[in-house]
Protein backbone atom coordinates (compact mmCIF):
# COMPACT_ATOMS: atom_id res chain seq x y z
CA UNK A 1 0.00 0.00 0.00
CA UNK A 2 1.39 3.39 -1.01
CA UNK A 3 0.59 6.31 1.32
CA UNK A 4 0.02 9.69 -0.33
CA UNK A 5 1.69 12.27 1.90
CA UNK A 6 1.44 16.05 2.20
CA UNK A 7 4.34 17.94 3.83
CA UNK A 8 3.34 21.03 5.85
CA UNK A 9 6.07 23.26 7.29
CA UNK A 10 6.76 26.99 7.04
CA UNK A 11 10.54 26.43 6.73
CA UNK A 12 11.74 25.53 3.19
CA UNK A 13 14.84 23.62 4.43
CA UNK A 14 12.62 21.45 6.65
CA UNK A 15 10.29 20.67 3.73
CA UNK A 16 13.22 19.81 1.47
CA UNK A 17 14.74 17.50 4.06
CA UNK A 18 11.47 15.68 4.62
CA UNK A 19 10.95 15.25 0.89
CA UNK A 20 14.49 13.86 0.53
CA UNK A 21 14.05 11.39 3.39
CA UNK A 22 10.65 10.26 2.13
CA UNK A 23 12.07 9.90 -1.38
CA UNK A 24 13.96 6.84 -0.20
CA UNK A 25 10.75 5.05 0.82
CA UNK A 26 8.96 3.11 -1.90
CA UNK A 27 5.66 3.03 0.01
CA UNK A 28 5.37 6.84 0.26
CA UNK A 29 4.34 9.24 -2.50
CA UNK A 30 4.75 12.93 -1.67
CA UNK A 31 1.80 14.55 -3.43
CA UNK A 32 2.41 18.12 -2.33
CA UNK A 33 3.77 20.70 0.08
CA UNK A 34 2.33 23.66 1.98
CA UNK A 35 4.23 26.50 3.60
CA UNK A 36 1.48 27.92 5.83
CA UNK A 37 -1.76 26.92 7.50
CA UNK A 38 -4.11 28.36 4.90
CA UNK A 39 -2.33 26.59 2.05
CA UNK A 40 -2.24 23.41 4.13
CA UNK A 41 -6.02 23.39 4.46
CA UNK A 42 -6.61 24.03 0.76
CA UNK A 43 -4.08 21.42 -0.35
CA UNK A 44 -5.48 18.84 2.05
CA UNK A 45 -9.00 19.39 0.75
CA UNK A 46 -7.83 19.34 -2.88
CA UNK A 47 -5.43 16.40 -2.75
CA UNK A 48 -7.09 14.30 -0.01
CA UNK A 49 -3.78 12.78 1.15
CA UNK A 50 -3.58 9.70 3.36
CA UNK A 51 -0.98 11.28 5.63
CA UNK A 52 -0.07 14.76 6.88
CA UNK A 53 3.45 15.48 8.08
CA UNK A 54 2.42 18.55 10.01
CA UNK A 55 4.52 21.21 11.71
CA UNK A 56 2.84 22.49 14.87
CA UNK A 57 4.32 25.97 15.14
CA UNK A 58 3.60 28.10 12.08
CA UNK A 59 2.79 31.81 11.78
CA UNK A 60 -0.91 32.60 11.53
CA UNK A 61 -2.74 29.27 11.62
CA UNK A 62 -0.79 26.68 13.60
CA UNK A 63 -1.00 22.92 13.10
CA UNK A 64 -4.00 22.57 15.39
CA UNK A 65 -5.90 25.31 13.56
CA UNK A 66 -5.23 23.42 10.33
CA UNK A 67 -6.72 20.22 11.73
CA UNK A 68 -9.75 22.03 13.13
CA UNK A 69 -10.55 23.75 9.84
CA UNK A 70 -10.09 20.55 7.82
CA UNK A 71 -12.57 18.82 10.11
CA UNK A 72 -15.01 21.76 9.94
CA UNK A 73 -14.97 21.77 6.15
CA UNK A 74 -15.82 18.07 5.75
CA UNK A 75 -17.31 15.63 5.09
CA UNK A 76 -14.31 13.78 3.66
CA UNK A 77 -11.91 11.17 5.00
CA UNK A 78 -9.51 12.67 7.50
CA UNK A 79 -5.83 11.82 6.97
CA UNK A 80 -3.50 10.30 9.52
CA UNK A 81 -1.30 12.89 11.24
CA UNK A 82 2.37 12.81 12.16
CA UNK A 83 3.53 15.93 13.98
CA UNK A 84 6.89 17.34 12.96
CA UNK A 85 8.00 19.77 15.64
CA UNK A 86 10.78 21.37 17.63
CA UNK A 87 8.80 20.95 20.88
CA UNK A 88 10.47 18.94 23.60
CA UNK A 89 9.16 15.49 24.41
CA UNK A 90 7.49 16.54 27.65
CA UNK A 91 5.29 19.04 25.82
CA UNK A 92 4.29 16.36 23.35
CA UNK A 93 3.06 13.75 25.81
CA UNK A 94 -0.45 15.16 25.51
CA UNK A 95 -0.43 14.37 21.77
CA UNK A 96 0.79 10.79 22.02
CA UNK A 97 -2.64 9.36 22.81
CA UNK A 98 -4.16 10.24 19.44
CA UNK A 99 -1.50 11.37 16.95
CA UNK A 100 -0.03 8.56 14.87
CA UNK A 101 3.40 9.74 15.99
CA UNK A 102 5.56 12.82 16.34
CA UNK A 103 8.99 13.62 15.01
CA UNK A 104 11.16 15.79 17.23
CA UNK A 105 13.54 17.89 15.16
CA UNK A 106 16.23 16.93 14.27
CA UNK A 107 15.35 13.33 13.35
CA UNK A 108 16.87 10.77 11.01
CA UNK A 109 15.44 8.47 8.35
CA UNK A 110 15.14 5.53 10.76
CA UNK A 111 12.93 7.56 13.10
CA UNK A 112 10.85 8.76 10.16
CA UNK A 113 10.53 5.18 8.94
CA UNK A 114 9.07 4.11 12.30
CA UNK A 115 6.48 6.91 12.14
CA UNK A 116 5.48 6.06 8.57
CA UNK A 117 5.12 2.38 9.47
CA UNK A 118 2.74 3.35 12.29
CA UNK A 119 0.67 5.38 9.83
CA UNK A 120 0.52 2.46 7.40
CA UNK A 121 -0.63 0.05 10.11
CA UNK A 122 -3.29 2.49 11.29
CA UNK A 123 -4.60 2.99 7.76
CA UNK A 124 -4.74 -0.76 7.27
CA UNK A 125 -6.84 -1.10 10.43
CA UNK A 126 -9.45 1.37 9.12
CA UNK A 127 -9.18 3.52 12.27
CA UNK A 128 -7.54 6.63 10.79
CA UNK A 129 -10.70 8.77 10.77
CA UNK A 130 -11.56 8.01 14.39
CA UNK A 131 -7.98 8.55 15.54
CA UNK A 132 -7.65 11.92 13.83
CA UNK A 133 -11.01 13.18 15.13
CA UNK A 134 -9.96 12.22 18.66
CA UNK A 135 -6.68 14.03 18.10
CA UNK A 136 -8.53 17.21 17.14
CA UNK A 137 -10.86 16.98 20.14
CA UNK A 138 -8.00 16.23 22.52
CA UNK A 139 -5.66 19.00 21.43
CA UNK A 140 -8.35 21.69 21.27
CA UNK A 141 -10.03 20.80 24.57
CA UNK A 142 -9.65 23.71 26.97
CA UNK A 143 -7.81 25.82 24.40
CA UNK A 144 -9.34 29.31 24.04
CA UNK A 145 -10.89 30.05 20.68
CA UNK A 146 -8.66 31.91 18.26
CA UNK A 147 -11.31 32.37 15.56
CA UNK A 148 -15.08 32.20 15.26
CA UNK A 149 -16.58 30.33 12.33
CA UNK A 150 -19.54 32.10 10.69
CA UNK A 151 -21.60 30.02 8.27
CA UNK A 152 -23.24 31.99 5.47
CA UNK A 153 -25.53 30.88 2.65
CA UNK A 154 -22.68 30.39 0.19
CA UNK A 155 -19.48 30.57 2.23
CA UNK A 156 -17.89 30.17 5.65
CA UNK A 157 -16.05 33.12 7.19
CA UNK A 158 -13.54 33.06 10.02
CA UNK A 159 -13.34 36.01 12.43
CA UNK A 160 -10.18 36.32 14.53
CA UNK A 161 -11.06 36.91 18.19
CA UNK A 162 -8.75 39.92 18.37
CA UNK A 163 -10.99 41.59 15.76
CA UNK A 164 -14.07 41.31 18.00
CA UNK A 165 -15.23 44.48 19.77
CA UNK A 166 -18.18 43.11 21.72
CA UNK A 167 -20.82 40.40 21.63
CA UNK A 168 -24.49 40.50 22.59
CA UNK A 169 -27.07 37.78 23.08
CA UNK A 170 -29.92 37.68 20.55
CA UNK A 171 -32.34 34.90 21.42
CA UNK A 172 -30.76 31.55 20.54
CA UNK A 173 -27.96 33.41 18.75
CA UNK A 174 -25.21 35.90 19.50
CA UNK A 175 -24.48 39.01 17.48
CA UNK A 176 -20.74 39.53 17.12
CA UNK A 177 -19.59 43.11 16.51
CA UNK A 178 -16.17 43.17 14.86
CA UNK A 179 -14.59 46.16 13.13
CA UNK A 180 -17.90 47.74 12.03
CA UNK A 181 -19.27 44.38 10.82
CA UNK A 182 -21.91 42.23 12.52
CA UNK A 183 -22.03 38.43 12.44
CA UNK A 184 -24.91 36.28 13.67
CA UNK A 185 -23.84 32.95 15.18
CA UNK A 186 -26.02 30.21 16.65
CA UNK A 187 -24.46 29.99 20.10
CA UNK A 188 -25.40 31.03 23.63
CA UNK A 189 -23.55 33.92 25.26
CA UNK A 190 -22.75 31.65 28.19
CA UNK A 191 -21.31 28.95 25.95
CA UNK A 192 -19.24 31.42 23.98
CA UNK A 193 -17.95 33.06 27.15
CA UNK A 194 -16.65 29.67 28.27
CA UNK A 195 -14.74 29.19 25.01
CA UNK A 196 -13.11 32.63 24.77
CA UNK A 197 -9.92 33.62 26.57
CA UNK A 198 -10.94 35.04 29.99
CA UNK A 199 -7.88 37.30 29.96
CA UNK A 200 -9.24 38.99 26.82
CA UNK A 201 -13.05 39.03 27.28
CA UNK A 202 -15.37 39.84 30.19
CA UNK A 203 -19.11 39.90 30.84
CA UNK A 204 -20.56 43.29 31.73
CA UNK A 205 -24.21 42.21 31.51
CA UNK A 206 -25.97 38.87 31.27
CA UNK A 207 -26.41 39.63 27.55
CA UNK A 208 -23.10 41.39 26.78
CA UNK A 209 -19.48 40.26 26.48
CA UNK A 210 -16.76 42.81 25.71
CA UNK A 211 -13.17 42.71 24.46
CA UNK A 212 -11.12 44.28 27.26
CA UNK A 213 -8.68 45.80 24.78
CA UNK A 214 -11.52 47.86 23.30
CA UNK A 215 -12.48 49.59 26.57
CA UNK A 216 -11.58 53.28 26.79
CA UNK A 217 -13.09 53.93 30.21
CA UNK A 218 -15.87 52.94 32.61
CA UNK A 219 -18.44 55.36 34.06
CA UNK A 220 -20.16 54.25 37.26
CA UNK A 221 -23.71 55.28 38.14
CA UNK A 222 -25.23 56.06 41.53
CA UNK A 223 -27.42 52.94 41.62
CA UNK A 224 -24.51 50.58 40.94
CA UNK A 225 -24.83 50.01 37.21
CA UNK A 226 -22.21 51.40 34.86
CA UNK A 227 -21.45 52.39 31.27
CA UNK A 228 -18.54 51.07 29.26
CA UNK A 229 -17.23 53.45 26.62
CA UNK A 230 -15.33 51.68 23.86
CA UNK A 231 -12.49 53.27 21.91
CA UNK A 232 -14.73 53.62 18.86
CA UNK A 233 -17.26 55.64 20.86
CA UNK A 234 -19.79 52.82 21.36
CA UNK A 235 -21.50 52.87 24.76
CA UNK A 236 -22.51 49.61 26.45
CA UNK A 237 -24.64 49.27 29.56
CA UNK A 238 -23.29 47.09 32.37
CA UNK A 239 -25.03 45.91 35.52
CA UNK A 240 -23.69 45.94 39.07
CA UNK A 241 -23.46 42.14 39.15
CA UNK A 242 -20.53 42.24 36.73
CA UNK A 243 -18.75 45.45 37.81
CA UNK A 244 -16.39 44.00 40.40
CA UNK A 245 -15.28 41.17 38.13
CA UNK A 246 -14.64 43.67 35.34
CA UNK A 247 -12.57 46.11 37.39
CA UNK A 248 -10.51 43.26 38.87
CA UNK A 249 -9.29 42.46 35.35
CA UNK A 250 -7.46 45.79 35.31
CA UNK A 251 -5.96 45.64 38.81
User: What are residue 230's phi and psi, to 5 degrees?
Assistant: -85, 165
Averaged pLDDT for residues 192-196? 84
Q: What pLDDT, in 10s, does the model give residues 64-94? A: 788 878 877 765 678 888 988 887 654 455 4
Share of the chain above pLDDT 70, in %: 87
pLDDT at 13: 96
133 and 25: one domain? yes
Task: Let me know whether 196 and 112 are in one domain.
Answer: no
pLDDT at site 14: 95
Residue 43 pLDDT: 95
Q: CATH no. for residue 118?
A: 3.40.50.2300
What is the SS3 string spanning the chain? CCEEEEEECCCHHHHHHHHHHHHCCCCEEEEEEECCHHHHHHHHHHHCCCEEEEECCCCCCCHHHHHHHHHHCCCCCCCEEEEEECCCHHHHHHHCCCCCEEEECCCCHHHHHHHHHHHHHHHHHCCHHHHHHHHHHHHHCCCCCCEEEEECCCCEEEEEHHHEEEEEEECCEEEEEECCEEEEECCCHHHHHHHCCCCCEEEEECCEEEEHHHEEEEEECCCCCEEEEECCCCEEEECHHHHHHHHHCCC
Tell me the pLDDT tens digit for each residue of 2-36. Answer: 999 999 999 999 999 999 999 999 999 999 999 99
Q: Are residues 57 and 161 in the same domain?
A: no
Q: What angle do CA 94, 80, 88 make, to 5 degrees?
A: 35
- Radius of gyration for the alpha carbons in the chain, expressed in angstroms and rounded: 22
10 Å CB burial of residue 25 (0-12, 13-18, 19+) is middle
| Tens digits of residue pLDDT in 213-243 | 999 999 998 888 999 999 999 999 999 999 9
Mind listing the pLDDT tens digit for each residue in 126-160? 676 677 777 766 666 666 777 887 877 677 778 88
Residues 225, 108 share a domain: no
Whether 135 and 211 share a structural domain: no
Whole-number pLDDT of residue 86: 80
Same domain, 134 and 156: no
Q: How many domains does the chain have?
A: 2
Out of 110, 140, 170, a domain closes at 140
pLDDT at 94: 46
φ/ψ of residue 3, rounded to 5:
-90, 130
Q: pLDDT tens across 89-136, in order?
A: 544 554 654 567 888 888 999 999 999 998 888 877 667 667 777 776
* 31 and 154 together in one domain: no
Question: Residue 162 belongs to a domain with what CATH number?
Answer: 2.40.50.1020
The answer to whether residues 17 and 130 belong to one domain is yes
Could you give the CA distance from residue 247 to residue 130 in angstroms, rounded to a whole number?
A: 45
pLDDT for the residue 98? 58
- Given 105, 140, 175, the domain boundary residue is 140
90 and 201, same domain (yes or no): no
Q: Which domain holds residue 84?
A: 3-140
Domain finish residue from 140, 165, 197: 140
Verify that 159 and 62 share a domain, yes or no. no
Residues 6 or more apart whose Cβ sits within 8 Å of residue 248: none
**Its pTM surpasses 0.85:** no
Whether 121 and 189 map to the same domain: the answer is no
Residues 121 and 204 in one domain: no
Amino acid sequence: MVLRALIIDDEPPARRRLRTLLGGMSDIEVVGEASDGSAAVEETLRLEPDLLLLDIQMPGMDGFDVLEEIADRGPRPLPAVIFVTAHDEHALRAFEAHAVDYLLKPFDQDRLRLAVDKAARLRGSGLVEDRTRKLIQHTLAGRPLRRLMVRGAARIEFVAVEEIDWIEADGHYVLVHARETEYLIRESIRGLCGRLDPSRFARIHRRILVNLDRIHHIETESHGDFEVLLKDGQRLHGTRTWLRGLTERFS
